[in-house]
A and B are shown apart, each in its own frame.
Chain A
Amino acid sequence: MGGYIVRRLLYTIPVVLGVLVTTFILLRLIPGDPVDLFYLGGQDPSGTVSFVVTPSQQSAYDALRREFNLDKHIVHQFFIYLWDFIRFDFGKSIRSQRPINEIIGDHWPATIQLTLAGMGLALFIGIGAGVISAIRHHTWVDYASQSFAVFGVSIPSFFLGVILVMIFSVGLGWLPAISNGHGKELILPGITLGTAASAILARLMRSSMLDVLSRDYIRTARAKGLRERAVIWLHALRNALIPVVTVAGLAFGGLLTGTVIIESVFTRQGLGLQLISAITQRDYPVVQGLVMLAALLYAGMNLVVDILYTYIDPRVRLVRASV
């Protein structure tokens, strides 16, 4: 057991290192470096254009290059980046000179609240609809929730958000179209974000539950005279949840990235909006820091899910320990 967790933790290290290398290389593939692009400003970003640093700018240009270590060898740059990362220092914005840690500190609550709202909704609707669908197999309830599942993964979240705003903000005036806080302001964005994930979970939950309900131990539970409610909620659900846990971990990544879109729809001042404006302003250190943060959160979530898994399903522990 302990051995498995340790091995799983060790496995995370090369992946994080790989992510680090990837983000580092990716943003150095850009034509010109961040400082060049900063001087290029909003001009033609194709990168092939020649631009001239005027003599009056030269010293500032050199200073900026030094400040972001761009005058050093690329391998040297990587080790500086790595060392900063180990100390949880994500660097600073090339535009505003603000430390990225400060940007993250200011904007993470909006994003995490939204992600959790979406996750909560997805788990509630997904598991609920999936179980009911399986119990009422081949009835109109089942067909309705199946249609919801297909529809939910097909509708773009931003379109759903716009529809909800049209109905509940513009039409009825019940809920705000612009969202920054929590409570009432989180309802529309949460629904918008969570719909696709709840559709995926509902579908998986249904098939998993149907599978479990056909097992012998469920027949045994019924045969010994247990009430149907106890059979479903105590015996079947626990087993049917096992595959759903893994997918819920993957869904977390989808929700985390989805906040980029949802924050755009509801002008929510979270990390997603920061990422988009950093991309359009070519503020590469910020892009790098935020992408890295999301990848780390995702890796952390998957780690938690995998460890959680061994508690829910002891068989995993045994099988994986023997490999």
Chain B
Amino acid sequence: MSTDALREPTSATAQDPLELRPPRSEWQMSYRRFWRHKAAVLGLSILIIISIGAIFADVIAIEPEETFYSFDELQTKKWLPPLTDGHLMGTDDIGRDVFSRVVRGSRVSLRVGFFAVGIASIAGTLFGLAAGYFGGWVDQVVSRAIDVMLAFPDLLLAIAILAALGPSLVNAMVALGLAGIPGYARVVRGATLAARELVYVHAARAVGMSDTRIMLRHILPNVLSPILIMMTLGLGGAILAASALGFLGLAADPPTPEWGSELNLSRAYLRTAWWVSTFNGAAIAVTVLSVNMVGDGLREALDPQASSWAR
């Protein structure tokens, strides 16, 4: 890129080699910082592999989705240890290939994670923007609702919502999404309060721009980096929480290859076949770990002041 710049017909200032490179934007600098973060790049690579696995699950899984064996077949098929008969991760109590089910499980977990984070971040951002920008009674209502929702510890709000909706995978997604709203709303509200007083926001208002336009065009870009950081770390949290709900038997029903519920069911024969529990559990841990590493990298890239002292 610098050679191209050199070939360009020169103006007076372009003679100065220091002026050749255009100044980097905020986002470009963040981009460079992210790629320098080794753990984040590693996490991202693992995450891409897992996503490819989820997208092409039907090609990668060696076994068709619903495979059943007769009683006689089962005697030679069940509880095969890893690496026997082409079963990379062995087979479970009814002879199904664990690898195929773990790969299909990635589809379930990623879907739940993305939906939950999607609901939480979009709704939370809108509420936070409105509360921070308009202030007054809007802010009062939103802030008090945030206080109340945050008064429920951790996963409990999601569990309570799930109890009301009735346990199912879709409801778990919705419950985790709703329970995530106050976290985003609070952060966005705070960032909006600061952004509202920026000179160009005042200017935009002075020239008669509509409130919606100001919020989306001028304030949202300012609050985007904390949202992005929260979304990434929240994705790991949502996947973890969804698998916990699955483990508790509140999310997926048995034939669904959900990692948490698989782990729960396979605990019954832990002594005979440790691999079923282990691979399903490891799948959750690796996925969440890689998402969190990306999240950490993103935080350091987008918010270097806040994390510089964290070295």
- A binding-site residues for B, Cβ under 8 Å: 14-16, 18-19, 21-23, 26-27, 29-30, 45-47, 137, 150-151, 153-159, 162-163, 165-166, 170, 206-207, 210-211, 252-254, 256-258, 260-261, 264, 275-276, 279-280, 284, 287, 291, 294-295, 298-299
Cβ of A162 and Cβ of B281 under 8 Å apart? yes
| Contact with A156, one of B159, B166, B243 (Cβ below 8 angstroms) | B243
Q: Which residue of A lies closest to B288 (CB)?
A: A154
Contacts of B160 in A (CB 8 A): 23, 26-27, 287, 291
Q: Are A170 and B270 in contact (CB under 8 A)?
A: yes
Taking the closest CB of chain A, its distance from the CB of B110, in whole angstroms, is 15
Contact between chains at B151 and A298 (CB < 8 Å) = yes
In the complex, given contacts A261-B244, A295-B151, A295-B152, what are 17 additional A-B residue pairs having Cβ atoms less than 8 angstroms apart?
Answer: A30-B165, A137-B311, A150-B292, A154-B236, A156-B243, A156-B285, A158-B264, A159-B263, A162-B267, A162-B277, A166-B270, A253-B156, A264-B264, A284-B163, A287-B160, A291-B156, A295-B153
Check: B147 CB closer than 8 A to any chain A CB: yes
B292 near A166 with CB under 8 A, answer: no
Binds A, one of B18-26, B100-108, B130-138, B245-253: B245-253
> Would A276 and B281 count as touching, CB distance under 8 A?
no
Q: Judge whether B166 and A45 touch: CB under 8 Å.
A: yes
Given contacts A159-B285, A261-B244, A294-B153, contact A150 B249 (CB under 8 A): no
Contact A261 B163 (CB under 8 A): no
B260, CB-defined interface residue at 8 Å: yes
Closest-CB distance, B160 to chain A (whole angstroms):
5
Q: In the complex where A162-B270, A295-B156 touch, is A27 in contact with B263 (Cβ < 8 A)? A: no
User: Which residues of B lie under 8 Å from residue A46 when comparing CB positions?
Assistant: 166
Evaluate contact between A257 and B163: CB separation under 8 angstroms.
Answer: no
Contact residues of B between 11 and 57, Cβ < 8 Å to A: 39
Tell me whether A210 and B153 are in contact in the complex, defined as CB-CB below 8 angstroms, given that A26-B164, A159-B284, A291-B160 are known contacts: no
- The yes or no answer to B289 lying at the interface (CB within 8 A) is yes
Knowing A150-B292, A166-B270, A256-B153, say if A19 contacts B250 (CB, 8 Å): no
26 A-B pairs within 8 Å (CB atoms) are namely A15-B147, A18-B148, A21-B148, A26-B160, A26-B164, A30-B164, A137-B311, A150-B293, A151-B289, A154-B240, A156-B247, A158-B244, A159-B277, A162-B267, A253-B154, A256-B154, A257-B153, A257-B156, A257-B159, A261-B244, A276-B248, A287-B163, A291-B160, A294-B156, A295-B156, A298-B151
Given contacts A47-B166, A154-B289, A261-B247, contact A19 B270 (CB under 8 A): no
- Interface bits B167-206 vs A (CB < 8 Å: 1, else 0): 1000000000000000000000000000000000000000
Which residues from chain A contact B248 at a C-beta distance below 8 Å?
Answer: 260-261, 264, 276
Known: A46-B166, A154-B289. A254 touches B263 (CB 8 A): no
Per-residue A-contact encoding for B210-231, CB less than 8 Å = 1, 0 else:
0000000000000000000000
Among A18, A153, A294, the residue within 8 A (CB) of B144 is A18
Question: Which residues of chain B are within 8 angstroms of A18 by Cβ–Cβ distance?
Answer: 144-145, 147-148, 151
Q: Is B207 an interface residue (CB 8 A)?
A: no
Q: A257-B154, A287-B160 are in contact. Are A158 and B270 (CB under 8 A)?
A: no
Task: Give B98 Cβ to nearest chain A Cβ, in Å.
Answer: 15
- For residue A1, give the distance in angstroms from its CB to the closest CB of chain B: 24
A154 to B145 Cα, complex, angstroms: 30
Secondary structure dominating the interface of B? helix
Nearest-Cβ distance from residue A323 to partner chain B, whole angstroms = 15
Q: How far is the CA of A301 from the CA of B37 in the complex (A)?
A: 38
B123 located at the interface, meaning its Cβ lies under 8 Å from any Cβ of chain A in the complex: no
Query: Given that A154-B289, A279-B159 are contacting pairs, would A211 and B309 also be in contact in the complex, using a CB cutoff of 8 Å?
Result: yes
Q: Are A156 and B236 in contact (CB under 8 A)?
A: no
Contacts of B155 in A (CB 8 A): 254, 257-258, 260
CA distance A146 to B39 in the complex (A): 12
| A156-B243, A162-B267, A170-B271 known; A26 vs B285 contact (CB < 8 Å) | no
Complex Cα distance A23/B151, Å? 12
Q: Which of A29, A47, A254, A264 contacts B154 (CB 8 A)?
A: A254
Contacting pair A299 B154 (CB below 8 A): no
Instruction: Tell me whether A258 and B284 are in contact in the complex, defined as CB-CB below 8 angstroms, given that A150-B289, A156-B240 are known contacts.
Output: no
Distance of A260 Cα from B156 Cα, bound (Å) = 9
- Contact mask for chain B residues 285-310; partner A; CB cutoff 8 A; 1 contact, 0 none: 10011001100100000000000011
Tell me the residues in window 261-275 of chain B with beta carbons closer than 8 Å to chain A beta carbons: 263-264, 267, 270-271, 274
Write the nearest CB–CB distance from A295 to chain B, whole angstroms.
5
Q: Known: A156-B260, A295-B153. Is A166-B159 also a contact (CB below 8 A)?
A: no
In the complex the two chains form, is A26's CB within 8 Å of B161's CB?
A: yes
Pairwise interchain contact B153-A254, C-beta atoms closer than 8 A: yes
Chain B nearest Cβ from A173, distance in angstroms? 12
- When distances are taken between beta carbons in the complex, the residues of chain A under 8 Å from B238 are none
> Which residues of the other chain, B, contact A294 by a CB distance below 8 angstroms?
152-153, 156
Task: Determine how close the nearest CB of chain B comes to the CB of A306; give it in whole angstroms.
Answer: 13
Evaluate contact between B285 and A158: CB separation under 8 angstroms. no
The distance in angstroms between the C-alpha atoms of A206 and B309, with both chains bound, is 10
Take A26-B161, A150-B289, A162-B267 as given contacts and tell me if A19 and B148 are in contact as well, using a CB distance cutoff of 8 Å.
yes
* A residues less than 8 Å from B267 (CB atoms): 162
A130 to B69, CA, bound (A): 53
